[in-house]
Amino acid sequence: MQIVTYTSIAGNYDKPRKDVVVYKGEGMFTDPKRESNIYAAMPHKFFEADYSIWVAGNVFLKKTPKMIVKNLLKGHDICLYHHHKRDCIYDEGEVIRRIKKDKEEVVDNHMQKYKKEGYPENNGLVEAGIIIRKHSKQMDRFNEAWFAELCTGSRRQQLSFNYVLSKFPEINARILNENIRKGEYVRVTQHKR
């Protein structure tokens, strides 16, 4: 079983790391967050593996990758943590606008698109600090659809993940209903600029 644990640190947003494979970006985007999204969303474009574990630059594993895949993925295609405060992409969009994590107009247009399509409120919200995947052709299609949303809408991963997942009923997702910051598998620190 081949597992690749990786991250992306673009624009010196976090300190360099030696515990995981680090992608620094190819300069496709001038925005470091969008540059990192290339790797977070599409690992199949950068390496071959049976499984991958994406960690944000401020997330560190407390268990081995093999144990994480075995205990958290548990036969699913993808696994993430449920957001520790909210359960709705629209509520999250309002918070992102208020604290200026993305441009207001971009967030507004993105959320309006989902509302026009009838995507429901309170339909789940994830934190993408760790993403555990089983690599497959169907996961590749999901990854590419998610990346398209990250390019055409908000750069904030949690706003589009559940929406894209709803378009792929064949993807068996596990959303952990616990706080990523209090779990036994990862340690979350502050981002270091």
Q: Is residue 34 part of a domain?
A: yes
pLDDT for 68 equals: 97
Under 8 Å between Cβ of 83 and 127: yes
pLDDT over 70, % of the chain:
96
pLDDT digits (tens, 9 = 90+) for 159-191: 999 999 999 999 999 999 999 999 899 999 876
User: Which domain covers residue 8, as residue numbers?
Assistant: 3-82+126-188
Which DSSP symbol is given to 122? S
Measured CA angle at 73 (ends 88, 145), to 5 deg: 55
Q: Is residue 58 part of a domain?
A: yes
Q: Is residue 112 part of a domain?
A: no
Distances (CA, A) of 26 to 7, 22, 90, 100, 153: 14, 12, 32, 26, 21
Tell me the average pLDDT of the chain: 93
pLDDT digits (tens, 9 = 90+) for 7-64: 998 766 667 788 998 888 777 888 888 989 999 999 999 999 999 999 998 899 999 9
Q: Is residue 35 part of a domain?
A: yes
